[in-house]
Structure 1
């Protein structure tokens, strides 16, 4: 659906890259390698998004890194749209519904880095998680968001890299 509004696949991939997780940063050549596209096509879209104020440039020595402009008036709106496009809102809602005592829901792997491979790796932590529910939930969520979902369940709190969608101790 979002593809019909944003007709440039490169622009959509850049928005996913920088707005799924506002901590993501990248430079032109890294994006070209990651997307498998020419630097010219990516440069054009980076310039457009930077001129619109949606992305910011950071110079570090001879490299220019790009990141989401978290102070842009539409930052939250764009982030919500991208997360809905990926189905993260539905995913979180379904997990929290009847999963048990959920401590955290963390996206790990490629999607946390803003790379939409079509697979979403989700780590759910907590005590006495409903494992039967997660088995039935997996196929229902995959159908709902049209992406493959890989769940990992753990009793231990997760403190490594990832995109935290929910954390009961922090209230996020």
Structure 2
């Protein structure tokens, strides 16, 4: 007889499981969801099928099938070998192996909508952990950038301003990294450092605050 679990312990009730299931139903398969995350998180990068299989830890044939599907939908596109920044010896090797590279297609009509959907899904899936960070004592500003808004060039993914326990924040962000299966860059500033950088129009801070971002918490006023 199957033993009943404690209320709330069923993984199927977790926000991450629910969101992942929704995306799988929407996009057709777990492999396709992983592929979309990989390509949209790394919009400037190119990938080949065997490398993708290793990266997302999925069966090679499943990856090949879903890559073909995404290319037919024009969500990703093949990239000519000549356009890649590879040493000549590598270029010759790649050509000999007839390796085909793919990249997300930013010209696709629904690119921005798909990017927003994938980004929002990640945030919803990790809402509980974000809430824990948000409720940490001393935080006055919590901003999501970088991976959370599809900006690969951003120099940080999370900006925290306030007087906080850095070790606890590190543990919480470690939980986010495990859930997202992606490393996160984060920056912690005291209020005095933030104010000084703001007055000096510090380039790092200016880029975060003036670029696309998600403000989770703002207690500056």
Q: Verify same fold: TM over 0.5.
A: yes
1:129 to 162, 171, 188: 162
Q: Is 1:65 aligned to 2:65, yes or no? A: no
1:75 to 111, 117, 121: 111
What is the aligned residue count?
148
Q: Give the drift of 1:22.
A: 1.8
2:44 matched residue in structure 1: 23
**Distance between the aligned counterparts of 1:158 and 1:36, measured in 2?**
38
Please give the TM-score of this superposition, normalised by the length of structure 1. 0.61
Unaligned 5+ segments in structure 2 are 1-21, 82-90, 194-201, 214-221
Q: Give the drift of 1:154.
A: 3.3
Q: Give the drift of 1:122.
A: 4.7
**Distance between the aligned counterparts of 2:102 and 2:116, measured in 1?**
20
Higher-RCO chain (CA-CA 8 Å, sequence separation at least 6) = 1
Report the CA distance shift for 1:169/1:80 in structure 2 as closer, same or farther (over 3 A).
closer
Q: Give the drift of 1:47.
A: 0.9
- Which structure shows the higher helix fraction? 2
Unaligned 5+ segments in structure 1 are 114-120, 160-165
- Does structure 2 conserve the Cα–Cα contact (< 8 Å) formed by 1:25 and 1:66? yes
- Which structure shows the higher strand fraction? 1
The structure 1 segments of at least 4 consecutive aligned residues displaced by more than 6 Å after TM superposition are 88-91, 93-96, 148-151, 156-159
2:187 matched residue in structure 1: 153
CA RMSD after TM alignment: 4.5
Please give the TM-score of this superposition, normalised by the length of structure 2. 0.49
2:218 matched residue in structure 1: none
Structure of larger gyration radius: 2
3-state SS in 1 of match to 2:162: coil
Q: Give the drift of 1:3.
A: 2.1
Report the CA distance shift for 1:103/1:81 in structure 2 as closer, same or farther (over 3 A).
closer
Q: Give the drift of 1:74.
A: 0.5
Q: Give the drift of 1:99.
A: 4.5
Q: Give the drift of 1:21.
A: 3.8
**Distance between the aligned counterparts of 2:139 and 2:80, measured in 1?**
44
- Does structure 2 conserve the Cα–Cα contact (< 8 Å) formed by 1:102 and 1:168? no
